[in-house]
Chain A
Amino acid sequence: MVRSSLAVLVIDENRIRASIIEAGLREAGHQRVTVIHDVTGIARRIAEIEPDVIVIDLENPNRDMLENMFQLSRAVKRPIAMFVDRSDQASIEAAVDAGVSAYVVDGLRQERVKPILDMAVSRFNAFSRMARELEEARSELESRKVIDRAKGILMKSRGLSEEAAYTLLRKTAMNQNRKISDIAQSLVTAAGLLGPAEDE
């Protein structure tokens, strides 16, 4: 483990993502890590923490305010500039693609900061992947629910067994070249429009 004296401040309104970054920084040997979710009173916090590196999510609507404060505020004793190694265009692109940016105090050597930025980028990407998978799982669950409701409607209105109801949905979907969940959703919507059939 590398012993580091760098103070790192993570500003992210997304608590889960912030804690993932924080864990990554601690694993990499950074002990002085502070996480802030709400920027209210941040000038005072920065004066207290005196961070060497600040990591910000790009969705943060306060980014313009923060960037200006880093340069001008009386609370910030050492000027803080955006991490930009102009020779390393790929690194900048990777950060923006991932949705993260880093700011460092004046005079801090590039090679001390780069691993922190790289770690943040990979953790942001991992978080996005996780969020996407979660969303897929949620929509999978939703479509299973709607298929169950559509099966119920068919079983009741046409006297079919569960298996026959599902077969009918699947066949219709194949014939129309649509997803089975779309057919199910259409059926549920139509049943809702046609009256109290479903919940009688």
Chain B
Amino acid sequence: MSMRHQITAGFMPLFDSAVLVAASELGFTAREGIDLTLHRETSWANIRDRIAIGHFDLAHMLGPMPLACNLGLTPLASETIVPFSLGLGGNCVTISNAVWAGMAAHGAEADLDPARAGAALGAFIRERAVAGREPLRFAVVHPHSGHNYELRYWLAACGVDPDREIEIVIVPPPFMADALATGRIDGYCVGEPWNSAAVAAGTGHIVTVKAQIWRNSPEKVIGVRKVWADENPEALAALLRALHHSARWCQDPVNHGELANVMAQPGFLGLPPAVQMPILTGHLQLGGGAERDIDDFFLPFDKAANFPWKSHALWFYTQMVRWGHVAHTPENLAIARDCYRPDLYRSALKPLGVALPGANAKVEGALKVATAVGATGAGLVLGPDGFFDGQIFDPDEIDAYIAHQKSARAEA
């Protein structure tokens, strides 16, 4: 079969590149007439640079990363758009045994409840401050990452100022568990399997998960060079259809064994299939013998997981403003609003006759239970999408949301 489209894409060896990898390995791209070449990278900075100079047409990216590029927060960048999301959830917060002991003394239990865990961590942090000890050091994978923003959101909602009361550093995912074991960091927020790795080694406890801080929240995306997207609309639409079929395949439990085998290859994730099972099943060992089944732990397809909601991008933007990464101006807001492109997703998938959300944005945190929604096609279920602290993010009320978070901090 002759291939009509040549596409070059970059990815990081993380499990949530699965939809992109499976699209190629299971033949979904070939069926759409696409010859997809995948390049494994070693840092997000490399992905950003190679997109910027045109080595890659598109790439597996952290959700806030294309926003950071377009807002001029990175040294090298080309305008990047997001027509597809690679999934919801998948991250955990893991802490050292010593911090766990300190939290347990303040009422923490192995139940992953963000409010309870955050209150205990806050009490332990204040106890240490009173005793004149060094602030705890937490690691995330990148400043412009869902990990950084959800860790900060969780801590701030529990009364801990992440800028003043702890230190946040950057550590690449595969090094997290080791950095925790050797005491260079006290905790971290990262995707699987790097949380379960610390639990398995007996050096860490999982205290809460992304799926409970903000249920069904955005994580990795497909970032596309805008210039390439503008010049190759057919290739992009074909790719989005291939990714859609791949995501559906990845979600189906029947395929999880095969998916884990594909990802286990050295050129992709390169880790044994067994360590990939927690992210696929949502069944996690938390440390100290505790275990939990987590609803919607990681969704590569269900709950409209691939739809690039503008409200997701705008929430990331509010957090960039909140933590001083960018100034809130009408120009910056417009850039953030234009970055995620549900219109491209919708037009590419329309011929398939599948369920598509009718709106481009939603009020995040409004759905308390899984809800069938009005949409084109049939059978679309969204949510629940609640924040653990009960807050609502209405993308039409951004100024109020930003102002509220600012004043809450000032009062603290």
Chain A residues packing against B (C-beta within 8 Å): 58-65, 67-69, 72, 81-82, 84, 89, 92-93, 96, 101
Contact = CB atoms under 8 A, between A and B. Distances in A.
B64 to A, nearest CB: 13
Interface residues on B, range: 20 to 34
Given A82-B76, A101-B49, A68 B42 contact: no
Nearest to B54: A93
Interface string B39-59: 000111110011001010000
Chain B interface mostly helix, strand, loop or mixed? loop
B303 interface: no
A64 B141 contact: yes
A94 to B, nearest CB: 10
Interface in B168-224: 169-172, 174-175
A59 B75 CA distance: 18
Interface of B: 42-46, 49-50, 53, 55, 75-76, 141-143, 169-172, 174-175
Given A92-B53, A96-B50, A96-B55, A61 B75 contact: no
Contacts of A60: 42-43
A29 B141 CA distance: 38
6 contacts: A58-B42, A58-B49, A64-B44, A64-B170, A81-B75, A101-B45
Sort A-B residue pairs by CB-CB distance and give the 6 closest, nearest first. A82-B75, A63-B43, A65-B170, A68-B170, A61-B42, A63-B45
B45 A67 contact: yes
A64 B49 CA distance: 12
Contact of B75 (A69, A84, A93, A96): A84
Contact of A64 (B43, B50, B53, B76): B43
B79 to A, nearest CB: 14
Given A89-B53, A96-B53, A96-B55, A64 B75 contact: no
Contacts of A72: 143
A64 B55 contact: no
Contacts of A65: 169-172
